[in-house]
A and B are shown apart, each in its own frame.
Chain A
Amino acid sequence: MPAIFTVDPRSGVPIYLQLIEQVKRSVALGVLAPGEQLPTVKQLAVDLTVNPNTVARAYRDLEHDAVIETAPGRGSFVRADGVAKQTRAATDVAGEAVTQAVREAKSLGLSAAGVRTLFESALARWFPEEK
């Protein structure tokens, strides 16, 4: 089975943050269902060829963010608290993307009004039913 996550170790973004982001995204997209078991720290470290303590750190942070839970001796699972948590994970992931897009637009010299126009047309395109 191919690893469900991929990381880019050469990136300046710390590997544990890349993993956290991917787990949150997978939960938001339903690729990881509530209650589904995650690979063990050792398994994921070997699959991705990354340091096991780094994977463990990502899992600890995900537990802290209430995305996953770990049952001693059984493994780590996606929390089954239902849609609310998933929505929050989705908001996290999408929020970062929007922040980055706005920052880029500003750094390219666009005005707030210009960004708003872009945003409105993107909304109109992806949510045609709400217009």
Chain B
Amino acid sequence: MSTISIDRLSKSYGKCLAVDDVTIEIPAGSVFGLLGPNGAGKTTTFKCLLGLARATSGEVRFGGQPLTPPLFESIAYVPERSVLYEWMNGAEHLEMQRRTFARYDVARAKELMELFSLDPRKRVRAMSKGMRSALAVVMAFAIHPETLVLDEPTSGLDPVNQRAVLNLIIEAAAQGATVVLSSHQIGQVERAADHIAVLQDGKVILAGAVDDLKSDRKIVEGIFPSETIALDGLRRDSRIERLDQSGRILRLTITADGGGLAETLSQMGAQSVRIVDLNLEDIFLNAVSPNMQTADVVEAR
């Protein structure tokens, strides 16, 4: 069990800078969610993390050490795009895994195949997208990995099997494994992850513990008697990250406890003051497209 440090990692493909000076610390035993729009650099970061792509600059360390073959034995990777062989069946893939990983557990593999109702004799060619995802997950968890790198592991799975994968992640984390996870389904990350980073255009634009990000960010909304609101004092307030006014409504996105500012708005003459909690999706959208966030909040209330 070791901390994974990604230190000033950059990766370019020709002129395209896919990962741009990324520094992330993944605490040992945590479930770390990597979020970001398509093309943000998540998959490239994973490949550099695992040594499957050579970083242009920067480095990755596992517990302070570079990645070595013995360490690789304890890492399971579920890639975004299936690397299964079309002409092979489930049992043959598991046999391949058994020969590669000393930690492979036959009984565990059987149990996992049953969990996802997979037929070991079925060829990949005949499998649905969901079955392929499930087989990749079975192969990953059958080696009792200490580190799991999961790139969209639940894509194509039905809600029951998605939940089963989340529970496997949670069980592994409870036993001390370190999990790095990407998913477009923010709700899943919100459940399983304790830390996240948001990538956009190859850069980290937000990172932290999920609970802290939620505690730290709130919207304080005040409705004033007229559209003339004295904002000068607020503009200098370092607790305020964003300030939006539309007509008589003033909305502050704040990065501190909202209590004080709610009272400030009240003293400024606001007739109504509310403190709104932000969930991970709000925080994510706010980070990747700051202007969309306001519209969403208005719609949602």
Contacts and interface: CB of A to CB of B under 8 A. Distances in A.
Main SS at interface, chain B: helix
B99 interface: no
B33 to A, nearest CB: 10
Interface in B162-177: 163, 166-167, 170-171, 173-175
Contacts, number: 80
Interface of A: 9-17, 41-42, 45-46, 49-54, 57, 103, 106-109
B170 A14 contact: no
Nearest to A48: B191
Interface residues of B, number: 36
Contacts of A14: 210-212, 214-215
Contacts of A15: 210-211
Interface string B273-290: 110111111100000000
B41 interface: no
A53 B277 contact: no
B31, B171, B174, B274 — most chain A CB neighbours (10 Å):
B174
A109 B218 CA distance: 22
Nearest to B176: A52
Nearest to A44: B174
B82 to A, nearest CB: 25
Nearest to B29: A53
B264 interface: no
Interface in B11-49: 29-31
Nearest to A14: B211
